Amino acid sequence: MRHWKKSKIILILILMIIPLAIVAADGWLRGALAHFKPALNIAAISNEYVLIWDKLPYPVYYEVEVLNHPPADDRQPAGPTERIARYRTWENKFVIDQKFPFRTYWRVTARSLLRLPVGRYSEAINLAEVADVTAVSFHAVKPVATSHYPHHDPAPARPFLTWTTVPGAVYYEIELLSAPPENPGDILPSRHRFFASQEVFTNGYQADLTTYGGDHLYWRVRALDYNGHPLGVFSDAAEIFIDRSLPQLLKPLINADLNRDGMPTPLYPVYSWIPISGATHYEVEVTDQPPENPNGIAPSRHRIWSKRVASIDCYDEEPRIRPGTYYWRVRGLDAAGNPVGVFSDAAPYVVDLSKGNYAATFGDSITHGGGAISYSPADWEYSFQTYLNFPVVNLGRSGDTAATMAARFESDVLPFHPKYLIILGGTNSLRGGTPASEVIKDLTAIRDKCVKYGIRPIFLTLPPINPAAIDRAFKEETAPNWRQEFDAVNRFIRQQRYYIDLDPFFCDAARELPDHYAIDGLHPDIEGKKLMAQIINANWARVTR
């Protein structure tokens, strides 16, 4: 018995000494390495960017910070409105997620077992400079032809010319050449040009070669920004061989995949296509079975919805809420409404309500998707849902106000039974002059409905807007007191139990939305959508606990 008591005392002493020893060792380590500063480098390995630094021969882990501004101090952690995300690792390397925006700054520090800093932070690495997406790499930015018409597989008289999209391009300039260009990799027109057009707002163009006299030619294309300035150089010239005897059905070429990479169909789909020569507008039809008349001009008897538009994309006004497989196709029309060619091939898409059981996003066009003026929600790169690390269904609807969101909650949200609902709404209301008090009332109604139906509401603060850019892009005025009204709504959102703060990360010095995040002053472009997603990813564990 006495021996057992003695052993117990020894054990207690050991348990008391161990924490003291750890604290002492931790203090010694931090003191000995007070001037340590990791030498941070970055390498491109297998199309990934990898941060690398020297590994200390001590029991420490490393903390990687991702910032939206260059850090001011290498001894202090960034503030909550500067740090996008933070990661911990025992390794001396870190693979950067390709879903991060380029306009970010990365640094690392060593941490003791007590989670205290060991030495200072490394110098920050600007991912944009490392990735060569600045002006230094201008000549490396160029589209790549994806349609080919070699001698053994020639083109008909009206071929579709397609290419890879250039991020941030608002439109393109295409030129047809009678000979290979004398200035490859340049921004200047070739002297062999015999036709050019800048009326190209997607990554494809149907060339009309019916009057061209030769049997082969060359083409190339370049991207342009909102002001018509080149975004990189002309693509490499591609040769086209022509066989005018080939039969050809004149029909639009679909370039929207509503289930790309397994993504669930947005509740309000957007359909897009490459236009055809001779058409002034288009008719889209949605069917609930494959059309019985492919390559026809008459509507399908399975048609459940249709719309005529003068653009090259079409916003479905009906929520696709009934599970099943749908089909859509489009045909060209002339000014009198007569068919130009035939209907395109029909493209299927699947509506599966179970895809929204975990999480859904609910909002206006910022949630619905699109950006850089010319891109719609059909372009997945311009949807922040593309970059989230968890499954989600898109319940956004372009043009929504906070009031219309509240009104459609039962019909559009409840069928999916989401566990979490990410809510971003009120921008259109406030910029149009609706008082913040009205928006708060509508957001409160949405919150209360979520609670009633067992859904956790996760609010996002409203990112800023840029009235001058909005006027430039859309010729729309913005309420002069928009900033004060945004602040009032964001104060309300920050009082909610579950919210994620976007606003500080998108503000410039004037607390407006900078062009590098949204050229139109309203809809974040690819960099902006990536930033939104990464802020949500970094906070997701907190708001779903």
Domains and CATH numbers, the chain: 41-131 (2.60.40), 137-241 (2.60.40.10), 249-351 (2.60.40.10), 353-545 (3.40.50.1110)
Start-to-end CA span in the chain (Å) = 48
**Residue-level pLDDT at 129:** 78
| Model confidence at 135: pLDDT above 50 | no
- Interatomic CA distance for residues 158 and 400, integer angstroms: 40
DSSP class of 235: P
* Single-letter amino acid code for the residue at 303: R
- Residue 28: the pLDDT is 61
Mean pLDDT of the chain: 92
State the helix-helix crossing angle for 436-452 and 482-494, rounded to 10 degrees.
30
Confidence band, pLDDT 50/70/90 cuts, at residue 482 = very high
Question: Which of 456, 430, 429, 422 is closest to 533 using CA atoms?
Answer: 422
**What pLDDT, on a 0 to 100 scale, did the predictor assign at position 134?**
44
Q: How many CB atoms lie within 10 A of CB 509?
A: 6
Predicted confidence (pLDDT) at residue 24 exceeds the cutoff of 50: yes
Q: Is the pLDDT of residue 469 over 70?
A: yes
Burial 389-421 (b: 16+ CB within 10 A, else e): eebbbbbbbbebbbbbbbebbeebbebbebebb
- pLDDT > 50? residue 428: yes
Rounded to 5 degrees, what are φ and ψ at 524?
Answer: -55, 140
Residue 125 structure tokens: 């690495």
Q: What are the backbone angles phi and psi of residue 420, rounded to the nearest 5°?
A: -125, 140
Collapsed DSSP state (helix, strand, coil) of residue 254 = strand
Give 90-109 pLDDT, tens digit per residue. Answer: 999 999 988 888 889 999 99
From 122-136, 264-278, 407-421, the region with the lowest mean pLDDT: 122-136
Residue 139 in contact with residue 190, Cβ under 8 Å? Answer: no
Q: How confident is the model at residue 322 (pLDDT cuts 50, 70, 90)?
A: very high
The pair of structure tokens assigned to 544 is 């779903």
Q: Which two tokens stand for residue 327?
A: 């089909």
Q: What is the DSSP string of 145-159?
A: B---B-TTS-B-SS-
Beta carbons of 210 and 202 less than 8 angstroms apart: no
- The predicted pLDDT at position 138 comes to 54
Q: What's at 60, amino acid-wise?
A: V
Mean pLDDT calculated for residue range 217-232: 94
- At 228-240, the pLDDT tens digits run 999 899 999 999 9
Q: What is the pLDDT of residue 136?
A: 41
26-57 pLDDT, tens digit per residue, is: 666 566 677 788 999 988 777 788 999 988 88
- Torsions phi, psi of 175, nearest 5? -135, 140
Examine the pLDDT at 21 and tell me if it is beyond 80. no
pLDDT of residue 18: 61
How far is the C-alpha of 155 from the C-alpha of 132, rounded, in Å?
Answer: 36
- By the 8 A CB rule, do 201 and 171 touch? yes
pTM of the predicted protein model: 0.91
